[in-house]
Amino acid sequence: MASELVEQRRLRETIHREVLPSGLRAFVLPKPGFQTRYATFATRYGSNDQNFVDADGRRHDTPAGIAHFLEHKLFEEEGGNVSERFSALGAMANAYTNYTATTYLFSTATEFPQALELLLRFVQHPYFTPESVAKEQGIIGQELRMYLDDPRVAVFQNLMEALYHEHPVRVEIGGTVESIERITVDDLYLCHRTFYSPSNMVFFATGDVDPAGVFDAVHRLVPSERSAPVERLRPKEPEAVRSELVRRAMPVGVPLIDIGFKDDPARENPLEREIEMEILLDCLFGTSSDIYQTLYEEGLVSEHFAASYFAGDDFAASVLGGPTPDPDRLLARLLALLGERCRAGLAREAVERSRRKSVGEFVALFNSPEAVAHSFTEYALRGLDLFDALDVLDALRPEDIERRLQEHFSSPRTSASIVDREGS
Amino acid sequence: MGFAQTRLSDGAHLFFWPTQKFKTTTVRVLLREPLAAGAAAGAILPMVLRRGTRRLPEPIELARALDSLYGTDLRGDVIKLAEDQVLIFHVEAANAAYLGGEDPLPGAIEMLGDVLLDPLVEHGGLKQSFVAQEKENLLRRVQGIYSDKAHYAQMRLIESMCAGEDYAIPRLGRLEEIEAITPAALYERWKEVLTRAPIDVYMVGDLTRERAEEEATRLLSRLGRRAPQAPRSPSRHPAPGAPRRVTDHQAVAQGKLAFGFTTDRRAGASDYPALVMMNGIYGGFSHSKLFQEVRERHSLAYYAYSQIDGLKGLMFVQSGIEFQDRGQAEEIILAQLEAMRRGEFREQEMRDTLAAIESQILQSSDAPSESIMTDFELRAASRPTDPSERIAALRAVTADEIAKAAQGVALDTVYFLDGQEGA
């Protein structure tokens, strides 16, 4: 089967795509002139997928942190670690796990075809032993301890626990030192079998690569059988937040705050919703907004203050925050200024400025093959197309952004998470 | 790839790389000053100048103008280059060919020129309210280092190891310096910087050399008389005696173990590539000895790495560990260095290291800012900038030369960020 070409004319980028008989979706974005050749192989399996019903109808409740643990362990192979074989090819392999996906990747300036073959093979060939699982518990234990000392991780984690009652997005992606001790070899094989089937996965390659050669390798190395779909169990999440304010003290130099506005998951057109929400957040809290400039002059925020829309298929929230000398005052002022803005409405020029800014940033994204690979893959795993973003931005209307403002912020469901300076 | 150099005026040069690879045009101005000239003032200058200009005095106006220029990114920052501080002013605009609208580049360059050479001045100083606000922000950035334990441990290591040397001055300066900054003194300092600092203007994007030279000349057209001073090379760190040991205690979950070593050579020397190879085999990558032994074999850590500062001639190691594993981790880390000194590394380790460094060298041309900073730092160290020349020099290094480089490495200071006593 030949691959299909999708052209983004204005960006002068062409993507080659193909759906394999197994259901794997594969994409190649040629970027001639770049030294880095880059490939990702990702599965729609993240920390949110702890509880599921497998193809045989059996329910499984797995330990927190298992998706991330599996990501680490997949690098293990009989007699060694596959990273070493990437190194020998001059390639750097890596992987990361978030709430909804696990992504494996490599970059290289040299032996691309060999590294590509290695990536496609190792992700599909698990090899776990009790000894290697025990060894990894020590390494990941230190990774988790490193995060325990990171106040940015703590302030966000506490916010998730405050916004959500039941949804698994409130659980740490890596689990805890205790939960990962319960992970067994059998659990790992089960999760690999359940979630690493080609129909649940997306492949993406970019850089100065030959699409035909890449698709050929994918056809050759990815098995063609289709697997039965898995049912991901999600508890019912109440509309209201669990707690309006959480705080803890840590040895930090400057206090931190994250403020969350809980939203209902999108029922339709999630790409449109997410782009419109990002535009709205930029209009409200971006560097050229009244709110940001007012808070900046009052000394409550700095350039590290940021707002973003945090969303997946079954969760959504606006999250904003950063370091601040006075988290309580920042929270009070921000909510007051936001209330005023809701009453006054958005200026049309503000929306147009944000739209232009987003267009420029979208163009700049294509400077980085890695960044494109990540964004594209993240959307593709959810059945969305990054290339559509420019059309959404072109079609954007100020009244849609105004409507989002009223829906999301006029009677908000808000949690705040604060990290105070220890001893103050 | 390569930057073509053009002299603009006394001690001011354009480095231009014409390329269609990127969808933006980047202009970056780098001004190099000694850290000892006042690092806090150096660090705050880009923050203050970036707030507003004579033409756009209100920060919100400036921010809105940038957003209207398709989100043109105008940034200021500083980096530390051994005992110097480099002030960075950066503007990056989307290329008009992809926008279907007007070209944001002329407006972007004009704004950068205003930030550099037409600041907002009142009562003979930089605008008082900007200076006061940015003093607070800088203070918090410096205090914020304490929140990042790996960064904090590295800073404390250097502070202890190089006490009394300019090298110990932190990138953003010290807290007590910030308090003393005044609008008038800051404006004087900025005028001094513009008079004496070497000025490098880098441009990367799809434009002709004529246009690049024209834009760069226009950018600096308001620059006054210059008396540029050549940068000095950093002082030599004295040869270490018995290792100095420093321990701090905090309520943390993980200990940070950090080592400072002297080396017997610096960047630019003909035997420097052997030290680069040595560092790579020892601790630069995931195939390296430190990662393999500390993490993969003994499960003591999530990270363990080494790095070199070639300008100053020092090497550093850091790892995050359980408090009680300190002794074992130190033993393993130092034993691996001993192995390097005895030449105990396989040909495979040399090949993997060479392949990894080659990839790094080639890939540095894949992002505008990274390509600029790589070229700038290589020139600062009088090292060749041509990728194939750099790769050839590394390929020529022998196993004996690598062992010899390791023999020239000596332990100076061991820093440990420990948990709370009695906790």
- In 10 A of CB A334, how many CB atoms? 26
- For an interface test with B, the pick among A36, A73, A87 (most B C-beta atoms closer than 10 Å) comes out as A87
Could you tell me which chain B residue has the CA closest to the CA of A81?
Answer: B296
Chain A closest-CA separation from residue B242 CA (Å): 31
A210 plus A262 within the same structural domain:
no
A352-377 pLDDT, tens per residue?
999 999 999 999 999 999 999 999 99
Answer yes or no: do A140 and B70 touch at CB < 8 A: no
Question: Does any domain span residue A237?
Answer: no
Verify that A349 and A273 share a domain, yes or no.
yes
A323/A376 same-domain check: yes
Q: Is B164 left (phi over 0), alpha (psi -120 to 50) or beta?
A: left
Which CATH number goes with the domain that contains A156?
Answer: 3.30.830.10
Q: B355 — contact with chain A (CB < 8 Å)?
A: yes
- Please judge whether A146 and B302 are an interchain contact, meaning their C-beta atoms are less than 8 angstroms apart: yes
Residue A239 lies inside a defined structural domain of this protein: no
Residue A64 domain flag: yes
From chain A, pick out residues whose CB is under 8 angstroms from the CB of B302. Answer: 139-140, 142-143, 146
In chain B the first and final C-alpha atoms are separated, in Å, by 56
Task: Tell me if A271 is assigned to some domain.
Answer: yes
Ramachandran bin of A396, using left for φ above 0, alpha for ψ from -120 to 50, beta for the remaining angles: beta
pLDDT for B284 equals 95
Domain limit, last residue, from A197, A232, A267: A232
Cβ contact (<8 Å) for A286 and B356? no
Distance from CA of B206 to the nearest CA of A (A): 13
Task: Find out whether A167 and A235 touch, Cβ atoms under 8 Å.
Answer: yes
For residues A174 and A99, state if they share a domain. Answer: yes
**Same-domain pairing of A399 and A294:** yes
What's the domain range around A105? 4-232
Banded pLDDT at A1 (limits 50, 70, 90): low
- Do B104 and A369 count as a contact with CB atoms less than 8 A apart? no
Closest listed residue to residue A356, CA positions, set B69, B53, B84: B69
Active site residues of A: 71
Q: For chain B, say whether A35 makes contact (Cβ under 8 Å).
A: yes
B301 in contact with A, Cβ within 8 Å: yes
**A234 CA: distance to closest CA in chain B (Å):** 32
DSSP B280: I
In terms of CA atoms, which chain A residue is nearest residue B64?
A: A288
* Residue B248 φ/ψ, nearest 5 degrees: -115, 155
State residue A22 phi and psi, 5-degree precision.
-75, -10
Residue A424 confidence (pLDDT) above 70: no
Whether A283 and A192 share a structural domain: no
pLDDT at position A56, please?
86
Distance (Å, whole) CA A133 – CA A135? 5
C-alpha gyration radius of chain B: 23
Chain B contact set for A287 (CB, 8 A): 63, 66-67
Both tokens of residue A165? 């009652």
Q: Mind listing the pLDDT tens digit of every residue in chain B (423 residues)?
A: 689 999 999 899 999 999 999 999 999 999 999 999 999 999 999 999 999 999 999 999 999 999 999 999 999 999 999 999 999 999 999 999 999 889 999 999 999 999 999 999 999 999 999 999 999 999 999 999 999 999 999 999 999 999 999 999 999 999 999 999 999 999 999 999 999 999 999 999 999 999 999 999 999 999 998 999 998 999 999 999 999 999 999 999 999 999 999 999 999 999 999 999 999 999 999 999 999 999 999 999 999 999 999 999 999 999 999 999 999 999 999 999 999 999 999 999 999 999 999 999 999 999 999 999 999 999 999 999 999 999 999 999 999 999 999 999 999 999 999 998 755
Please tell me if residue B26 touches chain A, with a CB cutoff of 8 Å: no
Chain A contact probe: residue of B17, B324, B326, B359 with most A CBs at under 10 A: B359
The residue out of A211, A232, A253 marking a domain boundary is A232
pLDDT at A228: 78
Do A149 and B67 count as a contact with CB atoms less than 8 A apart? no
Chain A interface test: which of B73, B293, B299, B332 (most A C-beta within 10 Å): B299
Q: Say if A256 falls within a structural domain.
A: yes
> What integer pLDDT is reported at residue A98 of this predicted model?
97
Domain co-membership, A216 together with A314: no
Q: Is B98's Cβ below 8 Å from some Cβ in A? A: yes
Name residue B88's beta-bridge partners.
B30, B77
Question: Which pLDDT score is estimated for A229?
Answer: 83
Say which of A33, A88, A356 has its CB closest to residue B351.
A88
Nearest CA in chain A to B281: A87
Q: Are residues A262 and A177 in the same domain?
A: no
Chain B residue numbers with beta carbons less than 8 Å from the beta carbon of A254 are 140, 143-144, 147
Which of A176, A363, A387 has the highest number of chain B CBs within 10 A, making it the mutation to test binding with B? A363
A329 min Cα distance to partner chain B (Å): 16
* Among candidates B67, B95, B142 on the partner chain, residue whose Cβ is nearest the Cβ of A353: B67
Chain A contact present for B146, CB below 8 A: yes
Question: Quick check: A139 contacting B, CB < 8 Å?
Answer: yes
Residues within 8 A of B (CB atoms), A 61-120 only: 81, 83-84, 87-92, 107-110
CA distance A230 to chain B (A): 33
Q: Is residue A240 part of a domain?
A: no
* A77 shares its domain with A218: yes
pLDDT tens for each residue of A53-86: 988 899 999 999 999 999 999 999 998 889 989 9
The answer to whether B378 and B235 have CB atoms below 8 angstroms apart is: no
- Using CA coordinates, name the residue in chain A closest to B94: A360
Residues of chain A positioned with their CB less than 8 A from the CB of B178: none
Distance from A354 to chain B by nearest Cα, in Å? 7
| 3-state helix vs strand vs coil in chain B, percent to 5 | 45, 20, 30
Contacts of A356 in chain B (CB under 8 A): 67-68, 70-71, 101
- Tell me: do A256 and A203 sit in the same domain: no
Q: Tell me how far apart the 2 most distant CA atoms of chain A are, in Å.
A: 66
- Number of folded domains that form chain A: 2
If contacts are CB pairs under 8 Å, which of residues 48-87 in chain B contact chain A?
Answer: 59-60, 63-64, 66-73
Residue range A11-29, pLDDT digits in tens: 999 999 999 999 999 999 9
Question: Is B146 in contact with A303 (Cβ distance < 8 A)?
Answer: no
Q: Are residues A293 and A185 in the same domain?
A: no
Q: Using an 8 Å Cβ cutoff, are A111 and A91 in contact? A: yes
**A10 vs B98: CB contact, 8 Å cut-off?**
yes
Chain A residue whose CA is closest to B250: A251
**Chain A neighbors of B285, CB-CB under 8 A:** 87, 92
Domain assignment present for residue A80? The answer is: yes
Name the band, by pLDDT with cuts 50, 70 and 90, for residue A45. very high
> Are A72 and A221 part of one and the same domain?
yes
**Distance between CA A420 and CA A327 in Å, rounded?**
8
> Which amino acid, one-letter code, is at B222?
R
Q: Which residues of A touch B2 (CB under 8 A)?
A: none
Domain boundary among A232, A256, A291: A232
Q: Indicate yes or no: CB of A254 within 8 angstroms of CB of B143.
A: yes
User: Rounded distance, CA B54 to CA B117, Å?
Assistant: 10
List of domains in chain B: 4-219 (3.30.830.10), 244-418 (3.30.830.10)
Shortest CB distance from A108 goes to which of B59, B67, B359?
B359
CA dist., res. B285 & res. A104, Å (int): 18
Residue B104 to residues B20, B188, B310, Cα–Cα distance (Å): 17, 32, 39
Q: What is the DSSP letter of B111?
A: H
Question: Cβ of B20 under 8 Å from any chain A Cβ?
Answer: yes
- Inter-chain touch A142–B302, beta carbons under 8 Å: yes
Mean pLDDT of chain A: 95
* Closest by CA position to B21, among listed A121, A234, A108, A208: A208
Contacts for B179 with CB less than 8 Å, ≥ 6 apart: B135
Chain B interface includes A33 (CB < 8 A): yes
- pLDDT for position A79: 83
Q: A238 in a domain, yes or no?
A: no
Q: Which chain B residue's Cα is nearest to A290? A: B60
Question: What are the pLDDT digits (tens) for A84-137?
Answer: 899 989 899 999 999 999 999 999 998 899 999 999 999 999 999 999 999 899
Is the Cβ–Cβ distance between B37 and B102 less than 8 Å?
A: no
What gap in Å lies between CA A316 and CA A281, rounded to an integer?
14
State how far the Cα of A36 lies from the Cα of A17, in Å rounded to an integer.
20
Dmax (CA) for chain B in angstroms is 68
Please say whether the beta carbons of A279 and A351 come within 8 A. Answer: yes
Decide if B324 touches A, using CB distance below 8 A: no
